[in-house]
Structure 1
C-alpha cells in the first residue's frame, strides 16, 4: 500500500487536509473551559475540577478505563451543563468552529435530545437551539477563513423507550439541519431490535439512520443492526473483525457477515482512539482498521468523543499514519469513503468530493512533491 517514496504527510499537512467526520458526539466534544463557564452560570456544582486544564485531564483519565460503561459515565457532567438554550447554542457553535479549525469540511454530529430536558426545554427547542448553534459556528468558521458544513444526527438511547418519538423528531427537522437518526448507549442487554418501530418508521419515510453496533458487543449486534433494522451505516462496527480469519501464511478468509458488509459497501464509522479506551482494540497498530483498509471495506476515520479521548480528526490520522505508514492517498481514500457515506443528497456529496476534497489533496500532494524535489536537489548539491 505504501512505500519509502510514498507521500507520507507531515502533521501540518494532516491538519490542513480536508477531512470528513461522520461519528462525533456533541456532548463528548465540549471545551473544558465552556463546561466550567456554564456550570458556574447555571449553578451546577458537580464538576470534579474547576480549572480547564485539570478538568480536561480528568475527562481523559476517567474515560481511559477499558470499559464502555465507565466511559459513558463521563457524560453525566457534560449533559448536566447542556440543559438551556444558550448552553446548547454555545456548545454547538464551538463544536463547528473547533472542527473547522481542524480542517473538517463536512461533519455529522450526533446528540440525544431526550438528555437535555431537565430545565424545561422541549425536544423541539433542543433541536432548534443546536441547529442554530451549528449555523452560527459555520458563520464564525467562514469569518476565520475555514469552510465547514455540519449536519445533526438525532440519537435515541438504547435503554430508553423514546426511539420512535426521536425518529419522528428527526424526520420533522430533516430539511432544517437534521440529516439522520442514530441509537446509542450500552449494547449489551439493549439490542437494536428493541426499537424496530423507529427503524420501520424511518424506512417508510425514506430517511437515513446509523446504529451503534459492533463496539462493545460482537457480531450478533452487527447482524441485527443490518438484517433486522436495515441500518445505512454501522457506528463503530469494529467487531466485524471477528468474522475475518487470517491464516499464518497471511491469506484471509471472510465469513458470510463480513463478506456481506464489504460487498454491500456498508460504511464503518471507526473511531480508533475511542476503541482503545473502551477495550475494543488493544493498540493503534493492532486496530482492525489496518486490515479493513487492505481488504477495501468502506472504513472511515472518526473521533467519537473529542473531549473524553483528547483527540481530533488530525490526531486520529496522525496515529494511523504512524501505525500503518498511511499516505496522503490513504487519507484521501478514507475521506472520500466518508463523504460518499454522508446522509446528504448525492449531488451535494459529489460536489464536496470534486470541488473541495480532491483539489485539497491534490494541492497537498503537489506541495509534498515540491518539498521532495527541493530536498533531493539540496542533497545533490551538498554531494558535489
Structure 2
C-alpha cells in the first residue's frame, strides 16, 4: 500500500470542492477583524478550526450547512474573494491536486454591494493568482469554477445564464446545492433546460441527504452530467447472503451510462449519509466499477484534503496506487473541460506521475553508503 508521503505526491483530480468550505482558519480571523465581523465563535485560528469541525460533525446536513454563515460573512468584498480563491488553489496544489473544479454560489456574496459579475471576476482573478503562486512553488495545477445556485432560492436561471456567459472564461459549468429535502432539483427545470440548449455542463447535488428519487429526478428530469455525492445509489443495490449483487434499474442505469459520482467520504460521515469509512458505499461501488470519484466537499468543515481522503480509503480498503490512479483517471475523464485537454492531463500528467511512484516500489533508491 502507498504510504502518506507517496499519497501526497500522487497526482489528484478534484471535482467537488466548495470555495466557502475551504478557507484557512487564520484567513477567516483576519478578514473578520478587517471587516468588523464580530460573530465568530472563536478568534484563535486553532480553536476556530476545531469549532468548524465539531459543528459540522453532527450527523445532520442542515446543521452542517449552518457553518457556512461564518465563511460567507467574510467573503462579501472583492479583495476577500480574490484572497480566498488564491489561497484555495495554493492549498490544493500543495496537496498534489493537478486539476480542480471549485464551486461557489455567487448569490451568497452580494451583501456588500458586489454584482454577480464582479463576484465571478474576483474569484477568477484569485484562481489565476493561485495558479501563478503554485507554479512559483513548483506545483502544477489547473483550476476551473462551477457556479452554484442555491436550491431553496429562486435565482437558478439567472446563475445558469451567468455560467454560460463566463463559459470559456474561467467557468466550466453549473451546480445546485443546499438542503435536498423539500427542494427537489425539478424546481429549477428552466435553468437545466436552458443549459442543455446551450450545450453546457452541469452537476446536481443529489442522493446525499435524500434518496433515490433525488437521483432519479437529477438524471431523468434534469439531465445532470454528474451527481454531486450520489451516495444513496446504494439503496438500489442488493447484496445477498451469498455475496451475489443485484442492481436495481436506476443503479444499473447509472453504471451503464458511466454517470460520475462525486463522492466525499468524510463529509458523508459528518452528514449521516454513511456510518463509517468501512461501511461507506464507495468500497462496493468501486468493486462494481461505477464511475466513482473521490472528493473533499468542504476541507475546513471536514478537516480534510484529497491526500487525507485517499489515506482513509487506503487504510480501510487496502487500496494500491493502481486504485488511486483509477479514481483519479475517473475524475479527469469526468471533468467539464474539453476532451483533448482531459486526455492530455491523463496521458501527460496523471499516468506518468503514478508510473514514477510505482517505480519507487520496483527500484527503491539505494544510499551510496548503505553501511
What interval of TM-score do these two structures reach, taking the shorter chain for normalisation?
Answer: over 0.9
> 1:330 aligns to what?
323
Q: For 1:150 and 1:88, how far apart are their aligned partners in 2?
A: 15
Task: Tell me if 1:30 matches 2:23.
Answer: yes
What is the CA–CA distance in structure 1 between the aligned matches of 2:116 and 2:245, rounded to whole Å?
48
CA distance in 1, matches of 2:172, 2:63: 29
- Other-structure match for 2:139: 146
Q: Are 1:265 and 2:258 counterparts? A: yes
Which runs of 5 or more structure 1 residues have no equivalent in the other structure?
1-7
Shift of residue 370 of structure 1? Answer: 2.1
- Cα distance in 2 for partners of 1:32, 1:286 equals 31
Residue in 2 that maps onto 1:215: 208
Per-residue deviation, 1:225? 0.1
Write the distance in 2 (CA, Å) between the matches of 1:11 and 1:338.
21
For 2:66, the equivalent position in structure 1 comes to 73
1:173-208 CA-to-partner distances (Å, cap 9, x unmatched) read: 011100000000000000000000000000000000
Matched residues in 2 for 1:228 and 1:324: separation? Answer: 35
Which one of the candidate residues 352, 362, 371 is aligned to 1:369? 362
Aligned to 1:282: 275
CA drift at 1:101? 0.1
Post-superposition, which runs of at least 4 consecutive aligned residues in structure 1 deviate over 2 A?
none
- Per-residue CA distance 1:314-358 (angstroms, 9 max, x = gap): 000000000000000000000000000000000000000000000
Q: How far apart are 1:267 and its partner, in Å?
A: 0.0
Residue 126 of structure 2 is aligned with which of 133, 150, 153?
133
Give the 3-state SS of the residue equivalent to 2:208 in structure 1: coil
Deviations 1:57-82 (A, max 9, x none): 00000000000000000000000000
Q: TM-score, normalised by structure 1?
A: 0.95
| Aligned pairs for 1:235-250 within 5 A | 235-250=228-243
Q: How many residues align?
A: 369
Q: Give CA deviations for 1:25-56 in whole Å, capped at 9, x if unaligned.
A: 00000000000010000111110000000000
CA distance in 2, matches of 1:367, 1:89: 39
Q: 1:352 is matched with which residue?
A: 345
Residue aligning to 1:118: 111
Once the two structures are superposed, the pairs formed by residues 88-107 of structure 1 within 5 Å of their partners are 88-107=81-100
- Counterpart among 311, 317, 321 of residue 318 in structure 1: 311
Instruction: Please report the RMSD computed on the Cα atoms of aligned residues, expressed in angstroms.
Output: 1.2
Within 2, Cα distance between the matches of 1:178 and 1:345?
13
Structure 1 residue matching 2:199: 3-state secondary structure? coil
- Offset of residue 368 of structure 1: 1.8
Q: What is the CA distance between 1:369 and its match in structure 2?
A: 1.8
- SS of the counterpart of 1:280? coil
Residue 107 of structure 1, CA deviation: 0.1
After TM superposition, the structure 1 = structure 2 runs for residues 10-89 of structure 1, keeping only pairs within 5 Å, are 10-89=3-82
1:108 aligns with 2:91: no
